Amino acid sequence: MFGVYLLFLLCLSLWAVSTVVVVRGEDPYLFFTWNVSYGTIAPIGIPQQGILINGKFPGPNINTTTNNNVVINIFNNIDEPLLFTWLGIQHRKNSWQDGVLGTNCPIPPGTNFTYKFQVKDQIGSYMYYPVTGMHKAAGGFGGLRINSRNLIPVPYDPPEDDYTIIAGDWFSKGHKTLKKILDSGRNLGRCDGVHINGKGAKGDGKDSPMFTMEAGKTYKYRICNAGLKTSLNIRFQGHKMKLVEMEGSHTIQNDYESLDVHVGQCFGVLVTADQEPMDYYVVASTRFTKREMTVTGLIRYNNGKGVASPKLPPAPRGSWGWSLNQFRTFRWNLTASAARPNPQGSYKYGSINITRTIKLANTATKIDGKLRYAINGASFVEPTTPLKLAEYYHVADKVFKYDTIKDDPPAEITHVTMEPVVLNITFKNFVEIIFENREKAIQSWHVSGYSFFAVAVEPGTWDLEKRMNYNLLDAVSRHTIQVFPRSWAAILVTFDNCGMWNIRSETWDRHYLGQQLYASILSPEKSIRDEYNMPESAAVCGVVAGLPRPPPPYS
């Protein structure tokens, strides 16, 4: 009888929490239920309407392990359609779960939708956020971590604890007002402040600690920049950081006094509690802005005595050259384990022949007096029908055309169109993409569905001779790359993940006003080994609403 009672209590406790782990004959499943609603938040001390997940801002951490299946049932309780994306998760063969408007219908108010995806081969630190409108400016973001299986040891001792820092710039006007500003043809201007995990320390000696440490122990901090447009510098008062992971790649373990984290990027660092036991600050400050804005979060040593010093470690001085030099120090640890039991450096990307070069040049322009951002002369417009749906239903010609921009843009882009942009890329082609920044503002680019090798970031303009300077041995594999003013960045990627994938600016006003496109990669063999068929649960909208569902094309 006592055993039955214990079983009842166990079942009751599992039902009561929002995360449930179920072990089947296949890989484990993690189930989440999210209620998304509005609530009052004040990240920089000014109360405003924010987006909460289960009443929390930022949202809850998604804590997973390699090969876990993640199921998230989202109830949309705000007054606008909503979508979430999982930044950096590759969704192998399954762009249906990417959570962007090119692949998914948004979740209407008062309804729910369930995301189902598997996290494979991507040990590391990631984040999620809403992609519709300017919802990212109101919250709805949080951390997503993928832990290593016991079979795959990471190249450092297990930390005492594992913390997430979601930092970013913040605008006090509210997401609906910011959307109206962009719709009117203006840019957002500079931010009003910075937050760490939705708040900041007041420094009056009464702050509660965000994080705790014990003398002599080492802790992992996962740092993500979830802001709209501003690069941040992160540093720990009195402590060094050992960079051990970057967007899923384990780097050589260099020590840093501070790190520049650009929009959309996530780093994993180790911090050892090797100072006098007392309070210290973790500091985030804006980079490349006319006026530096700084926020702090309190770190408390267990049994420590003494308040944190008001003297904060300074941010790097000078132009973006410091940040460029720091990028050059990031190198892959070729001897560390990958997500499978083999070294990371076993994939010799530097010996693969390039089959296609695509140069993407960003520009700012005005159309009918309103600001728009473009790539190679095209400013992206979101169609009412997701691109992937149109392609799957064989009505792509009613929604978009393939390859409307050239792989090599002219030196001067004088005419800009407004249209959906979709590149048709051959399955398994090894492609070189050059992000060319022709403007004075720093850029941040993301490629969904893939990790790429960031082989070069340099000032000036790119030409074929610049390949001589590529890092073809130990460049970090990642999903987001910065491009400095009047500079370029080169990445190499094998397009072996079929689907419709977003290539976009992570600078959110640029993304909203057209600086994005999609890449379509189809299975030549029509094989389910290359891509999954459309899930039965997938929502339909736009021109395909009411049409009979096509027979599954892949078998």
Q: DSSP per residue over 368-427, as a string?
A: TTEEEEEETTEEE---SS-HHHHHHTT-GGGT--B--S-SS--SS----EEE--EEE--T
Contact (Cβ atoms closer than 8 angstroms) between residue 385 and residue 397? no
Alpha-carbon torsion angle 193, 197, 202, 205, nearest 10: -160
The predicted pLDDT at position 347 comes to 82
Which element (helix H / strand E) includes 321? Answer: helix 321-328
pLDDT for the residue 150: 82
Rg value, the chain, Cα: 23
Q: Which is nearest to 228 in space by CA: 162, 278, 181, 277?
A: 181
Distance, in Å, from the CA atom of 2 to the CA atom of 476, rounded to the nearest integer, reads 55
Chain center to CA of 240 = 25
Q: What integer pLDDT is reported at residue 121 of this predicted model?
A: 83
Render 112-125 in DSSP notation, one character per residue. EEEEEEE--S--EE
Tracing tokens 């190499």 back to the chain, one arrives at 492
pTM: 0.94
Return the pLDDT at 27.
Answer: 87
Q: What is the structure's pLDDT at 5?
A: 39
- In three-state secondary structure terms, 91 is coil
SS3 per residue for 445-489: EEECCCCEEEEEEEECCCCHHHHHHCCCCCCCEECEEEECCCEEE
For position 438, what pLDDT does the model report?
96
Residue 104 in tokens: 């998914």
Can you list the positions of beta strands (E) in 209-251?
Answer: 211-213, 218-225, 232-236, 241-246
Compute the distance between CA of residue 549 and CA of residue 245 in angstroms, rounded to an integer.
Answer: 43
CA–CA distance, 199 with 210 (Å, rounded to integer): 10
* Phi, psi torsion values for 503, nearest 5 degrees: -115, 115
Q: Could you tell me the mean pLDDT of each successive run of 10 residues in the chain, 555 residues long? A: 40 43 72 98 97 98 95 98 97 96 98 95 94 98 94 89 98 97 95 97 93 98 98 98 92 93 98 97 97 97 95 92 96 84 82 97 96 98 97 97 97 94 98 97 97 97 97 95 98 97 98 98 95 95 96 91
Q: What is the pLDDT of residue 103?
A: 97
- What residues contact residue 56 under an 8 Å CB cut-off, 6+ apart? none
* DSSP, res 332: B
pLDDT at residue 205 in the model? 87
Contact partners, residue 512, CB within 8 Å, separation at least 6 = 133, 134, 179, 182
